[in-house]
């Protein structure tokens, strides 16, 4: 499991060293541990929360009736269901949101929205999220979204605590770039 592979330092922008770093580490690990076959990252989703704030109105139309009814079942009054969802999301990591029902509902909705987000492309047909762009551009595939994997202040600010596993297939890694 790779954690915190980063090329986001300002002085390193545009320098494609990530693929060679990943390949080098995989080669060394493969040599030292020949039975090791699975290589994944635990990575942040740094632009999800900001993106959600800009696109919540269009995303809200994707919420099905079942989830809306669950949201209605949470005994907190707000002007709208969407407002209730956003306020509960803002309370993650604080004692204001510690109810299992609330957290479970937030998880279900955010995982759907994050999956949608990770499929969004920019004008150059690259993933809009810089970390996704890095990993997918280096031969990885999205393996799993992890709810509340980073409850730190930064993790909550960036992605409501969600993180993602990218999986590296050695054959794809060799063909990347």
- Per the document, the length of the chain is 177
Q: Which residues are catalytic?
A: 43, 135
Task: Please report, in angstroms and rounded to a whole number, the separation of the first and last CA atoms in the chain.
Answer: 22
**Which residues are CB-neighbours of 64 under 8 A, at least 6 positions away?**
none
Give the H/E segment covering residue 173: helix 170-175
Tell which residue, 46, 68, 19, 62, has the closest CA to residue 174: 19
- Contact between 144 and 133 under an 8 Å Cβ cutoff? The reply is no
In eight-state DSSP terms, residue 11 is G
* Alpha-helix runs per DSSP H in 12-64: 18-32, 48-60
- Match 């551009």 to its residue by tokens: 137
């Amino acid at each position: 499991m790779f954690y915190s592979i980063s090329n986001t330092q300002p002085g390193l922008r545009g320098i494609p060293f990530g693929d060679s770093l990943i390949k080098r580490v995989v080669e060394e690990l493969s040599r030292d541990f020949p039975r090791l076959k699975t290589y994944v990252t635990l990575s942040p989703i740094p632009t999800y929360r900001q993106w959600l704030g800009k696109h919540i109105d269009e995303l809200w139309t994707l919420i099905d009736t079942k989830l809306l009814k669950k949201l209605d079942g949470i005994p907190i009054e707000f002007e709208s269901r969407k407002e209730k969802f956003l306020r509960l999301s803002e309370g993650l990591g604080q004692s204001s949101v510690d109810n299992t029902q609330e957290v479970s509902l937030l998880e279900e909705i955010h995982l759907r929205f994050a999956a949608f987000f990770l499929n969004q492309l920019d004008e150059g047909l690259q993933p809009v999220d810089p970390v996704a762009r890095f990993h997918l551009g280096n031969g990885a595939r999205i393996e799993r979204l992890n709810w509340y994997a980073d409850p730190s202040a930064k993790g909550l600010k960036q992605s409501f605590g969600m993180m993602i596993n990218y999986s590296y297939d050695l054959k794809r890694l060799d063909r990347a770039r």
